[in-house]
Every structure is written in C-alpha cells, then in structure tokens.
Amino acid sequence: MIKIIVNIPLPEIVLLFFDYVTGVKNIFKREEISIDQLADNIGVCVKKYDIFGSDAEFGKRSHNAFISALKRFEEFVLKLSH
C-alpha cells in the first residue's frame, strides 16, 4: 500500500479529498454563487457555517463535513494568494 508523507493510506487521502470537494460544491450551490465568488468570500462563508454562524446547523451536518471542507478550502485559497 502506498503511503503519503502524513502516513495516511492513499485510498483514505482520495476519499478525504473527495469529501472536501463535495462539501465545497454543496456550499457554493447552496449559496448560488460561483466557485470564484466562494474563494473571494471564503472568510465570510466560514464564519457563516462555523459555530455561532447563521448556518452553523448546516455546517455541522455529516460530522462537520461542510465546515471542515470550507476550512480546508480557505487554507488552500490563502496558500494560493501568497
């Protein structure tokens, strides 16, 4: 079995990536915005779906899948901007 540097088996990395992509897709469809608009406003969206946000209940669905996906996407966007 191939292992990534973080010592997670490759199939689990692929599933994790798929979960994040699916979560982000669901959010931009739910918000009726493009992926570019989501990227430009990711901080606002994270606050909205995180604890105490107006859509926190949705964010914590499926064991926090949606807010987790948004936070990873936020990290990705921030890394791209530097």
pLDDT value of position 50: 97
pTM score above 0.95: no
Which letter, b or e, does each residue of 27-64 get, where b requires 16 or more Cβ atoms within 10 Å of its Cβ? bbeeeeeeeeebbeebeebbebbbeebebeebbbeeee
pLDDT value of position 10: 52
pLDDT value of position 1: 41
pLDDT in single tens digits along all 82 residues of the chain: 433 445 555 555 555 666 888 999 999 899 999 989 999 999 999 999 999 999 999 999 999 999 999 999 999 888 888 7
